[in-house]
Amino acid sequence: MKISNFKMGKLFSIIRLGYLLNHDFIILPVSKYYLNILKVLFSKNFILGFFLFYDNNSFLKAKIYLKYFFERPFFNFIVYNLLKYFFFIRIKFKFFKGIDYGFMLFTTSLGLIFLEDCLINKITGKFLFHLK
């Protein structure tokens, strides 16, 4: 999936605005297919919970805890790539008759720091999570 720089710039403007307004949560479009990929990427250690909720705009969206988004440069780079390949998706479930479901994904700040440090220090010598 290829995303233009304009779309990424617009997306990050929304992220910055959400960060300035809330400081805790941002909202991004996401599909259920990529949710499974995210589960693999973050693993159970970095996820506090998933919760279904209705969205008034009828799009699937994810709320992701990014407290260190602007404070951790290397993690910022990781998030950029995750956004680029996994998040910029809109999808509708026809079998739910127009009603779309979303989820909220929470990651702990401790988990984010651990992930970043492992990647920077190359503790394992390779990327920690593998897509199957």
Q: pLDDT tens digit string along 81-123?
A: 554 444 333 333 333 333 333 322 333 333 444 444 455 444 4
CA distance 8 to 118: 27
Q: What is the mean pLDDT of the chain?
A: 41
Q: Hey, which bits of the chain come out as E strands? A: 25-29, 50-54, 61-65, 101-105
pTM of the entire structure? 0.19
Least confident of 9-18, 66-75, 86-95: 86-95
Tokens 């008034």 correspond to what residue? Answer: 56
CA–CA gap between residue 34 and residue 26 (Å, rounded): 17
User: Residue 74 has what pLDDT?
Assistant: 54
Say if residue 95 is exposed, middle or buried (CB neighbours under 10 Å; 0-12, 13-18, 19+). exposed
Give the pLDDT confidence score for residue 108 in this predicted structure: 33
The confidence score (pLDDT) of residue 81 equals: 54
| Partner residues linked to 51 by β-bridges | 104
Name the pairing type of β-strands 25-29 and 61-65: antiparallel
Q: If you average pLDDT over each of 30-34, 67-71, 110-114, 125-129, which comes out highest?
A: 30-34
- Is the separation of the CB atoms in 82 and 52 below 8 Å? no
User: What average pLDDT does range 48-74 have in this prediction?
Assistant: 36
CB atoms within 10 A of CB 77: 12
How far apart are the C-alpha atoms of 15 and 9, rounded to whole Å?
10
**Percentage above 70 pLDDT, the chain:** 0
